[in-house]
Amino acid sequence: MRVFPAIDLRGGASVQLVGGAPDAEKIRLPDPVEVAKRFKTAGFRMLHVVDLDAALGTGSNADVIAKILEASGLEAEVGGGVRDEEEIQRLLDLGASRVIVGTRALEDPRWLEEVAFRFPGKLILAADARGRQVVTRGWTRTLTQDVGALVAGVDPLPLAAIQVTAVHVEGLEGGTDLALMSELVETTSHPLQASGGIASMDELRKLASAGVAAAILGMALYTGKIDARAAAKEFP
pTM: 0.92
Predicted pLDDT of residue 139: 64
> Is the Cβ–Cβ distance between 159 and 189 less than 8 Å?
no
| pLDDT of res. 55 | 85
Band (135; pLDDT cuts 50, 70, 90): confident
Active site residue 177: no
What are the angstrom distances between the C-alpha of 173 and each of 38, 47, 56, 208?
21, 20, 24, 18
The answer, yes or no, to whether residue 131 has pLDDT greater than 90, is no
Distances in Å between the Cα of 197 and the Cα atoms of 18, 99, 190 are: 9, 23, 22
146 is annotated as an active-site residue? no
Give the pLDDT score at 142. Answer: 67
| Tens-place pLDDT, residues 200-217 | 999 999 999 999 999 999
Catalytic site residue from 51, 53, 128, 177? 128
What is the C-alpha to C-alpha distance for residues 20 and 138, in angstroms, rounded to an integer?
8
Q: What is the bridge-based pairing of β-strands 192-195 and 161-165? A: parallel
What pLDDT shows up at residue 69?
95
Of 8, 51, 53, 177, which residue is the catalytic one?
Answer: 8
Helix (H, G, I), strand (E, B) or coil at 95: coil
CATH of 2-234, one of 3.40.50.300, 3.20.20.70, 2.40.50.140, 3.40.50.150: 3.20.20.70
Distance between CA atoms of residues 148 and 86, nearest Å: 30
Give tens-digit pLDDT for 28-86: 999 999 999 999 999 999 999 999 999 888 999 999 999 999 999 999 999 999 999 99
